[in-house]
Structure 1
Amino acid sequence: MTTTALDRIDIKILNELQQNANLTNVELASRVNLSPSPCLARVRTLEKLGVIDRRIAVLDPAVLGIGVTAFIQIKLEKQIQLSLDSFTRSIDRLGEVMECYLMTGDSDYLLRVMVSDIEALEDLIVNKLSRIAGVSSIRSSLALKRISHKTVLPIDTNRPVQIKSGNPASRRIERPTKSQYDASPQARPDGGMNLETSRIFDHGTAGL
């Protein structure tokens, strides 16, 4: 494992690309006061080191009709490696899950999910998450309004940055608002479940 130091120009390049990944090399070079050739070499080195993971387009969920954000706490029956691996594989297959964190505290996982509406959230919780093997309880909180959202990491040009080459880039928290979505399961005559939206969703998955 080798350690590489990023200098002020490297950090300027990163900050510029975080703001706008569509900059041409000539535009980027101008903004960081370099000529195009050494600027391109630095960018390629940052990519090779894994500092620049990938370049993506950030879409507007409201325009696409994805209007509901929820934060879901999940607890497993057992914290054994087999259960953790199985849960991770299941979560990776769910497109609605934007972020998933292994947590300390009362819950094992914290998920940030985005769906089109409450009905879609109900479907995600009841028909997908609660059916993952090993899940013992689910609690969800519904975000009323996004106050702040950032994709730019806070890299200070006045502070040295040391990176370890070869380390996998961390993949994939916004805090929910106080308001919470509750869905306590209730049996229906047809054997299904109803979800109430007045209290915290918190249930075991037995029988699901």
Structure 2
Amino acid sequence: MIDEVDKKILNILQKNARISNAEIARRVGMAPSGILERMRKLERKGIIQKYEVRLNPKALGLVLTVLIMVKTEERVGSVEIGYELAKISEVQEVYFTAGEYNYLLKARVSDTDALTELLRKFGAIPGVKDTRTTLVLNDIKESLALDLDRVDVARAGGKKGARKGNSQESEDIS
């Protein structure tokens, strides 16, 4: 279970994961040792999964963001190909989906030649049947931040939401 203090701590961390415990304590009105204990508890419960640096992909030459739907010949409920797709370095996100296509992926590449090479990598995976690619023209909103004001504190906190292979990045939403 999380309380209102935990929500304040989580909101602060979502805006800046590098903030010091002392600064969080000052903002929340608690001792730094109390903040540290609460953060450790949130980590043990799986509410805080990890801390990561968010890089600017365009500054690194990865100017194309693509969303790719992948159709496979897997048996119903199987996700082995999804894990193979997730191993490809250009792929940032893999979602197992219902519908005509089995997976929805997000990837970043430098140009259309790199996209062509990425699609070849997909085609080399046994069982990949078809892909449908959409080029993103502009990232209007991209965030992993959660609106904690919509979280029922009486229900939250007891369940680990992490899935096998789930990797999330920290967001700076200031």
TM interval, short-chain normalised: 0.7 to 0.9
Q: Deviations over 1:31-50 (max 9, x none)?
A: 11211111111111111111
Contact preservation (8 Å) 2:86, 2:94: no
C-alpha distance in structure 1 between counterparts of 2:114 and 2:137, whole Å: 16
Q: Which amino acid aligns with 1:14?
A: L
Identity %: 35
1:162-200 C-alpha deviation (Å, 9 max, x unpaired):
2234x351424xxxxxxxxxxxxxxxxxxxxxxxxxxxx
Q: SS of 2:157's equivalent?
A: strand
Could you tell me which residue of structure 1 aligns to residue 170 of structure 2? none
Give 2:126's aligned residue.
133
Name the structure 1 match of 2:35. Answer: 39
Q: Would you say the 8 A contact 1:69–1:114 is kept in 2?
A: yes
Are 2:15 and 1:15 equivalent residues in the alignment? no
| Secondary structure in 2 matching 1:141 | strand
Report the equivalent of 1:84: 79
Residue identity opposite 2:123 in structure 1: S
Which of 72, 75, 98 is the matching residue for 1:104? Answer: 98
Checking the alignment, whether the CA contact within 8 Å between 2:70 and 2:103 is kept in structure 1 is yes
Are 1:77 and 1:136, in contact at CA under 8 Å, matched by a contact in 2?
yes
Match of 1:183 in 2: none
Which 4+ stretches in 1 moved above 4 angstroms?
Answer: none
**Structure 1 pair 108–158 and aligned structure 2 pair: CA distance change class (3 A):** closer
Between the two structures, name the one with larger relative contact order (CA 8 Å, sep ≥ 6).
2
Residue 61 (structure 1) aligned with residue 54 (structure 2)? no
1:157 Cα shift?
7.3
What is the CA-CA distance between 1:62 and the residue it aligns to?
1.1
For structure 2, which runs of at least 5 residues remain unmatched after alignment? Answer: 168-174
Structure 1: 5+ residue runs without aligned partners? Answer: 173-208
Instruction: Please give the alpha-carbon distance, in whole angstroms, between the structure 2 residues aligned to 1:31 and 1:106.
Output: 49
Kindly state the Cα deviation for residue 78 of structure 1 after the two structures are TM-superposed: 3.2
Q: 1:100 to 1:119 in 2, by over 3 A?
A: same
TM-score by length of 1: 0.74
Counterpart-to-counterpart distance in 1, 2:116 and 2:124: 13
Higher helix share: 2
1:26 aligns with 2:22: yes
Which residue number in structure 1 is paired with residue 107 of structure 2?
113
Closer, same or farther in 2 for the Cα pair 1:148/1:67, shift >3 Å?
Answer: same
Partner of 1:150: 143
**Which deviations, in whole Å up to 9, do the C-alpha atoms of 1:41-90 show, x marking residues without a partner?**
11111111111111010011111111000111111123246x632x1331
Which amino acid in structure 2 is aligned with residue 23 of structure 1? I
Give the count of matched residue pairs: 164
* 2:118 aligned counterpart, secondary structure: helix
The equivalent position to 2:156 in structure 1, one of 162, 167, 176, is: 162
